[in-house]
Amino acid sequence: MMTCREFAEILIDFVSGDIAQDQRSLVEEHLGGCRHCVAYAETYQLTIVVVRNLPKDALPAHCEQRLRARIEKELGRALDPPDA
Amino acid sequence: MEELSSVQHALKPTVEQVFREYAPRIYSLALRLLGNEADAEDVTQEVLLQLIRKLDTFRGESALPTWLHRLTVNAALMHRRNRATRSSPAIREPLDNFLENGAHARPVHRWSLPPDQKALDRETRTLIDKAIAELPEAYRDVFVLADVEGLGNAEIAEMLALSVAAVKSRLHRARLLMRNALAPHFEEVAV
């Protein structure tokens, strides 16, 4: 009989489908009788989904201005003009 | 050969193009690894200057290439090492939230998310970034590279000089901590 904690320990393999066959039946049996673990697995997976959707290219305007100035100072010249 | 060289010259990005293409991505990654704007700016400047100085050998690519991830991660880790005065939060063990008999210590509720999960509002994005910033550094590095940047465990292991098993273990713990941190925001109200 698998406990909730034991299930939590192998969640990473469960959500990636990388779970051993002998554990799969134990997991299925556990999930069949534990709504908390069903919700736990679902929300673990949702955590991955929402984080993957975070923007990966945010540069606030005030940081961009400072960075441009710092790089121009290091290079000793202004950055090239944008594409014509 | 002359034709080829003129094509290569035409394809060579300008400093401005490199800045516009890569500064936001390098900065975002550095900010999530380091947790504050000033450090992220330092790292972005350092990485961009390295890129600009190697423009002659640079080939523009639309995705953030692995080598640029590596360059940014190395610069961020070095930066962190050099500012030893700031301490990282103590490591929290997410699997402590269970009773002695192995059951959940408190009820687990489902989450209510917008149908289009990509449309996270600003408040939610800020909340998620705050939760990432509060992860212990050892977990945060792996989590950001795996779940935000989408790198594989083997690549991350190489970048951080860890075993693949250690990457997987840290990633799992980071996800559990993130799940626990986000749960109060997303949980459905019990009827």
The complex's ipTM works out to: 0.88
Which pTM does this prediction carry? 0.86
| Cβ-defined contact of A70 to B150 (cutoff 8 Å) | no
Other beta carbons within 10 angstroms of residue B170's beta carbon come to: 23
Q: Mean pLDDT across the stretch B99-124? A: 84
A80 belongs to a structural domain:
no
Mutate to test the interface with A, among B32, B106, B172 (most CBs of A within 10 A): B172
DSSP B150-186: ---HHHHHHHHT--HHHHHHHHHHHHHHHHHHHHHHH
A56 belongs to a structural domain:
yes
Q: What is the spatial distance between Cα B41 and Cα B61, in angstroms, rounded to a whole number? A: 22
A40 belongs to a structural domain:
yes
Min Cα distance B82 → chain A (Å) is 20
Domain count, chain A: 1
Tens of pLDDT, residue by residue over B112-139, are: 887 666 667 888 999 999 999 999 999 9
| Whether B146 contacts B69, CB under 8 Å | no
pLDDT band at B86 (very low <50, low <70, confident <90, very high): low
Residue A17 CB partners (closer than 8 Å, separation 6+):
none
| Cβ-defined contact of A5 to B108 (cutoff 8 Å) | no
| Cβ-defined contact of A53 to B15 (cutoff 8 Å) | no
| Domains (range + CATH), chain B | 10-82 (1.10.1740.10), 108-186 (1.10.10.10)
- Mean residue pLDDT of chain B comes to 85
A84 belongs to a structural domain:
no
- Identify the domain containing residue A19 by its residue range: 4-75
A81 belongs to a structural domain:
no
A25 belongs to a structural domain:
yes
Q: Mean pLDDT across the stretch A28-49? A: 95
pLDDT of residue B85: 59
Phi, psi of B111 (to 5 degrees): -110, 150
